[in-house]
Amino acid sequence: MTSVYVIRNQFGHYWGKSKTWVSGSEPRKVLRARHEDEAVNTLFELSSKDVDLRGSVVSAELSDRAEPIIEASTVPLPSAEEETAGEPEACAEVEVEVETAQTVEQETH
């Protein structure tokens, strides 16, 4: 069997070919690199975009079907709606803070 390298995050999810995190229950969807340095470079790029990411490059054997033999994560994947749900609220909070600061500034002058 041949080894490949895959990227796994702190929740046990794997970086997928579709450039999203996948659970690993379908190994054919997991991105695999033939060389460790390729996987390390990809992990470096991912971690520069997400400072909370705690990822690692893991060596995995290939099955007879040329799919990595990996353990699927038991932690559910966050849905796309959950990931973007907090963003408008965060923007609204910043706008309120700016408006409040402007109002205080106007009242003091």
pLDDT tens digits, one per residue of 57-106:
999 999 999 999 999 999 999 875 455 444 444 444 445 454 555 555 55
Q: Given this model, what pLDDT does residue 14 score?
A: 97
In whole angstroms, give the CA distance from residue 108 to residue 18.
53
CA–centroid distance for 14 within its chain: 8
100: left (phi over 0), alpha (psi -120 to 50) or beta: alpha
Answer yes or no: are the C-beta atoms of 16 and 75 closer than 8 Å. Answer: no
pLDDT tens digits, one per residue of 41-67:
999 999 999 999 999 999 999 999 999
Q: Output b/e per residue, 63-96; b: 16+ Cβ within 10 A.
A: eeeebbebeebeeeeeeeeeeeeeeeeeeeeeee
Query: For the whole model, what pTM was predicted?
Result: 0.71
Residue 30 has pLDDT above 70, yes or no: yes
